[in-house]
């Protein structure tokens, strides 16, 4: 499935239904936020300050790499969130189940740097892997919560 051919809410509904149908069948679910962010800051920094860097760009290369979470509106990730040096995909899902709020922020680190764009199959694969990771985390949280 290409990026332009998917509906993230439908994917979420189908995954929740497949995993937790019996537990969620009588519940009211409301998705209040579903964001997918491709943070390309490091890749762009590598292009700008890469092997041909001059003394000024070498000094500037670390600028913006230690932003605090509250300073970034969307797509923030910390050094402990990534497992590869490549541009991560951050997925944020906030929903309520019968009025109880659940929030997931998941960071997916692709195995290689991926060109972003609807025409690139690697971009689709990375986005779907990020969505699956976030959805699996949400399902685990919901399953744990529904047990209690």
Residue 141 lies in a domain: yes
Residue 112 region by backbone torsions, left for phi larger than 0, else alpha for psi between -120 and 50, else beta: beta
93, part of any domain? yes
Domain of residue 80 covers 3-40+73-147
Which DSSP symbol is given to 51? T
Tell me the mean pLDDT in the region 137-143. Answer: 97
Predicted confidence band of residue 60 (pLDDT cuts 50, 70, 90): very low
User: Given pLDDT bands bounded at 50, 70 and 90, which one contains residue 90?
Assistant: very high
3-state secondary structure of 24: helix
**How many angstroms separate the CA atoms of 67 and 78, rounded?**
9
The two structure tokens encoding residue 134 = 């976030």
Q: Is residue 65 part of a domain?
A: no
Q: Which of 6, 1, 22, 28 is nearest to 96 (CA)?
A: 28
Residue 84 placed within a domain: yes
pLDDT digit string (tens) for 71-87?
556 666 777 878 888 88
User: pLDDT by residue (tens digit) across 107-124?
Assistant: 999 999 887 766 678 888
pLDDT at 1: 46
User: Does residue 126 belong to any structural domain of this protein?
Assistant: yes
**CB-based burial of residue 136 (10 Å sphere; 0-12 exposed, 13-18 middle, 19+ buried)?**
middle
Arithmetic mean of pLDDT, 17-42: 91
Q: What is the number of structural domains in the chain?
A: 1
Residue 116 lies in a domain: yes
CATH number, position 135: 3.30.160
Average pLDDT (98-105) is 96
Asked if the structure places residue 102 within a domain, the reply is yes
pTM over 0.85: no
| Residue-level pLDDT at 76 | 63
User: What is the arithmetic mean of pLDDT over 41-53?
Assistant: 61
Q: What pLDDT is attached to residue 86?
A: 85
Distance CA 104, CA 81 (A): 13
Residue 111 has which token pair? Answer: 């195995």
Question: Which residues on adjacent β-strands are paired with residue 90?
Answer: 37, 107
């Amino acid at each position: 499935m290409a990026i332009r051919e998917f509906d993230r809410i439908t994917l979420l509904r189908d995954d929740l239904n497949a995993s937790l149908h019996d537990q969620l069948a009588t519940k009211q679910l409301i998705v209040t936020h579903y964001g997918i962010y491709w943070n390309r800051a490091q890749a762009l920094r590598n292009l700008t300050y890469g092997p041909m860097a001059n003394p000024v760009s070498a000094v500037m290369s670390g600028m913006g790499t230690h932003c605090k979470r509250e300073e970034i509106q969307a797509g923030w990730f910390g050094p402990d969130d990534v497992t590869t040096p490549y541009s991560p995909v951050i997925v944020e899902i906030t929903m309520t189940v019968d009025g109880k709020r659940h929030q997931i922020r998941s960071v997916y680190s692709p195995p290689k740097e991926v060109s972003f764009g609807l025409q690139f199959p690697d971009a689709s694969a990375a986005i779907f892997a990020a969505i699956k990771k976030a959805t699996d985390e949400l399902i685990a949280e919901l399953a744990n919560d529904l047990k209690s």
